[in-house]
Structure 1
């Protein structure tokens, strides 16, 4: 079981009032001593209010975009390790312990949870998104290093990896976040490994646009390789 001295859970959130409470409750039950930081990214619903009512730390990032939220989250983290997970309850906090254990035991700098190597709830990923993710991950594997799910939103980071991302900065504010982090860490020679995780279906409509965002992610992988 983690302690507050070890791990901070970073949850970037934009209009996730339906899922943020149950997610925090699950993390609290599994890891009662770990810190939880919810980075509210201009939500217009009760996301921040619900998170604050659970007694977790809520910080606000006014610049729209998941990348901006994560940079704020990294700057707000004082622990040696951090877990990033989406606020929509598609990722299970139960898997976070595996990510951290692998991070420690393998002396890795970052561990990402692979949905495509793990168990997926029926309807969690559409056929189009599955095909697109395979193409993007193949692209990342050719340009950087082997990876099966470069778009995963469940990661574990060491302090070294967090500091490198903060120093390098993030150029793209949308769904390119994971691909950009992967490319920056891989290019720097930091060690990235992946482990299978469980992925669940969103309770409402996905925010990602398969074709438009998929092209942006592909472009990011190529541009970052050429820098």
Structure 2
């Protein structure tokens, strides 16, 4: 592990006293020498004590929300590689070394643990959650053109330069969507690794993700991230129905003018002109925000490039040398 660099296993937790100890022990077994840091996110049970007894460092984040805990972890923990995992003991720790290898040896900045349920155990993944994850993944893929098949997985390995150039702004379960959007905006190399997903232990706390309220919040976050990442396209789509309505109203008014020599229904013409102005303003706002967004993305990209990449030994391919002297004599 010393040759690999500093590895931090960061775990956001809220009321996971029955499972956090096992999570820490299993990941320390797979990644010996890694530092384990748990963010106790306003827990009302003995999560912090259980994490400390299992050998983890514990920091406290009083603002409730997974995004708040992840923000604190990524800001306060200094490492070369970050293993981000939930504290509910549902993910397979055995794939962590392979995920870490893909970052350290292959140069990926984000590796996502794709949740896979064993045959005959599909019921561990609640039907509502399965549908919601599939729908939100489809929405994200269409908006950002990023080929991730499990966009809401909380199991990830991240490089230092990805983490330290990531401006976290979400407070809740939208954090995964924000990680994905950051990867799409700056164009980092990423991949997925299948990871076994099992049901929560019987003694653990109840699932904290609400199928409908959190699902709606994540969907809104995806749309806002799309607006912020590609404002010209987003505002052009908003302007399109206004433009179509304006064209229809103006066309009807012109037909009336050519038929009667005057516009009898003048309010219709005024509505058409007003709708056209709204569409024009939306389109212009998109153009202005596109320029601002490009400047912002360039700053984030420069911050990303200013940090050493994840490869511990960059792979350099040596091309065969051609003997120029022998070529001259031929």
Q: Distance between the aligned counterparts of 1:221 and 1:192, measured in 2?
A: 19
1:179 to partner: Cα distance: 0.8
1:185 to partner: Cα distance: 2.1
Contact 1:5–1:34, Cα closer than 8 Å, also in 2: no
1:126 counterpart residue number: 126
2:295 counterpart residue number: none
User: Is the aligned partner of 1:215 residue 2:216?
Assistant: yes
Task: Kindly report the root-mean-square deviation, in angstroms, between the aligned alpha carbons of the 2 structures.
Answer: 1.7
Q: Distance between the aligned counterparts of 1:8 and 1:55, measured in 2?
A: 13
| CA pair 173-99 structure 1, distance change in 2 beyond 3 A | same
Contact 2:31–2:96, Cα closer than 8 Å, also in 1: no
User: Is the aligned partner of 1:197 residue 2:195?
Assistant: yes
Q: Distance between the aligned counterparts of 2:33 and 2:15, measured in 1?
A: 26
Contact 1:184–1:224, Cα closer than 8 Å, also in 2: no
1:119 to partner: Cα distance: 4.1
Q: Provide Cα deviations, 1:56-81, integer angstroms capped at 9, x if missing partner.
A: 21111111111111111112222210
User: Is the aligned partner of 1:104 residue 2:87?
Assistant: no
Alignment of 1:1-227 (within 5 A): 2-3=1-2, 5-116=5-116, 119=118, 121-144=121-144, 145-165=146-166, 168-170=167-169, 172-203=170-201, 204=204, 205-227=206-228
1:55 to partner: Cα distance: 2.5
Task: Work out the number of aligned pairs and report it.
Answer: 222
Which structure shows the higher helix fraction? 2
| CA pair 100-119 structure 1, distance change in 2 beyond 3 A | farther
Q: Provide Cα deviations, 1:99-148, integer angstroms capped at 9, x if missing partner.
A: 111223331111111115x6474422112211111111111111111110
Q: Provide Cα deviations, 1:138-174, integer angstroms capped at 9, x if missing partner.
A: 1111111111000001000000110111xx232x211
Gaps of 5+ in 1: none
DSSP 3-state at the match of 1:138: helix
Q: Distance between the aligned counterparts of 1:178 and 1:169, measured in 2?
A: 10
Gaps of 5+ in 2: 229-330
| CA pair 138-106 structure 1, distance change in 2 beyond 3 A | farther
Larger radius of gyration: 2
Contact 2:168–2:178, Cα closer than 8 Å, also in 1: no
TM-score of the pair, normalised by structure 1? 0.91
